[in-house]
Amino acid sequence: MTQTIELQYFFDPFCGWCYASAPALEGLAARYPGQLSMMPSGLFVGSRPVSSMADHAWRNDQRIQSLTGQQYTERYHQNVLLAPDGVFSSAPATLALQALGERDAKLEPAFLHAVQIARYIDGRDTAREEDVAKVAVAVAGENGIDLTAEDFADRLRSDAELRQRTLDRIEASQGRMNELGIRGVPQLVAVIDGKPTALDGQILYHGPDRLIAAIEDLTVTA
């Protein structure tokens, strides 16, 4: 009998700790491309002024950098966290992930990593549809899909059906988290032959090798 494996990764594009788990997720996507399910939690899809939490965010980011080695640049600090009239909302990035995933699910982890790099390294304001669209179009182009940034940004702003599908997906992810009794992101749940196991969150911050080894151990003992 063939063993079934599904890897459910719960995340939000604006979650700093999800950015810390990016190297592990990249390895996971390469090792299990057909088994990885991206589960957007909607943690930061609501909009609020970035000035209301900029100092707290920067302190948290510096802590993540010191513990995991993931870099946060001064460009990000100045251009994003200290931007006048900036907002904090992962809605555009979550909508973009949904739109790309409807083309090819394998684009989702690639886009998540690219939009994290755009924000935390390049200092681009990924709460803006225009910046998110540029990232999405680049990821699509690298995978042979021709899109235009202007049209894609317009979809992020005005496509009501895309928005509803994204909200439905977030609701399903939240329901799954409640069902499993897990809180916060990132979280990785390995479902082996229908049996879910939540992996220790700390393993997500140490690159792909330990994470893949832990999953392989689960497949042996299942």
Q: End-to-end distance of the chain based on CA atoms, in angstroms? A: 13
Dist CA 129 CA 125 (whole Å): 9
Dist CA 75 CA 2 (whole Å): 49
Phi/psi of residue 54, nearest 5 degrees: -60, -45
How far is CA 142 from each of CA 20, 30, 135, rounded to the nearest angstrom? 24, 16, 11
The mean predicted confidence, pLDDT, of the chain is: 96
Give residue 97's pLDDT. 98
User: What domains appear along the chain, each with residue ranges and CATH number?
Assistant: 5-221 (3.40.30.10)
Dist CA 92 CA 122 (whole Å): 18
Q: Indicate the length of the chain as a whole number.
A: 222
Average pLDDT score over residue span 160-181:
98
**What is the torsional sign of CA 176, 177, 180, 185?**
positive
pTM: 0.97
Q: Are 21 and 13 in contact (CB under 8 A)?
A: no
pLDDT in tens, 178-206: 999 999 999 999 999 999 999 988 999 99
Q: Which residue has the higher pLDDT, 132 or 219?
A: 132
pLDDT in tens, 71-115: 999 999 999 999 999 999 999 999 999 999 999 999 999 999 999
3-state secondary structure of 145: coil
